[in-house]
Chains A and B, each alone.
Chain A
Amino acid sequence: MQQEWILGLIGGGIIGLGGAIYLLSNGRIMGASGIIGGVVDGSAGNQRNERLAFIVGLFLVPTIIALWVGGFDTHVTDNLVVLLAAGLLVGIGTRFANGCTSGHGVCGISRLSLRGIVATVFYIGAGGLSVVLFRHLLGVI
Chain B
Amino acid sequence: MRNFMAFIAGSTFGTGLLISGMTDTTKVQGWLDIFGAWDPTLAFVMSGAIIPMAIAWRLAAGRTPLLGGLFPPRPEPRLGRNLIIGSTLFGVGWGLAGLCPGPSIASLGFSGFGGITFVVSMLLGMWLAPFIRAQVDQLSSDSA
Q: Are A123 and B126 in contact (CB under 8 A)?
A: no
Interface SS of B by simple majority: helix
Q: Are B20 and A25 in contact (CB under 8 A)?
A: no
In the assembled complex, B139 has its CB within 8 A of some CB on chain A:
no
- In the bound complex, CA of A136 to CA of B62 (Å): 50
Chain B residues, Cβ within 8 Å of A28: 6, 72
Interface string of A3-38 (1 = CB under 8 A from B): 011111111111111111111111111101100110
- Chain B residue total in the interface (Cβ 8 A): 114
Chain B residues, Cβ within 8 Å of A61: 10-11, 14-15
Which A-chain residue is minimally distant from B81 (CB atoms)?
Answer: A96
Chain A residues, Cβ within 8 Å of B36: 131, 135-136
- In the bound complex, CA of A63 to CA of B98 (Å): 19
Q: Are A136 and B117 in contact (CB under 8 A)?
A: no
- In the bound complex, CA of A66 to CA of B75 (Å): 37
| Minimum Cβ distance to chain A for residue B45 (Å) | 4
Which residue among B45, B87, B92 has the maximum number of chain A CB atoms within 10 Å of its CB?
Answer: B87
Q: Are A18 and B57 in contact (CB under 8 A)?
A: no
Which A-chain residue is minimally distant from B29 (CB atoms)?
Answer: A131
Q: Are B118 and A87 in contact (CB under 8 A)?
A: yes
Q: Are B16 and A40 in contact (CB under 8 A)?
A: no
Known: A10-B48, A58-B106. Is A94-B126 also a contact (CB below 8 A)?
yes
Which one, A63, A106, A130, contacts B110 given CB within 8 A?
Answer: A63
Residues 54-68 of A contacting B (Cβ, < 8 Å): 54-63, 65-67
Q: Are A8 and B20 in contact (CB under 8 A)?
A: yes
Chain B residues, Cβ within 8 Å of A26: 2, 5-6, 9, 65, 67, 69
Residues of A within 8 A of B (CB): 4-30, 32-33, 36-37, 40-41, 43, 49-63, 65-67, 71-78, 80, 82-98, 100-102, 104-107, 109-111, 113-115, 118-120, 122-132, 134-136, 141
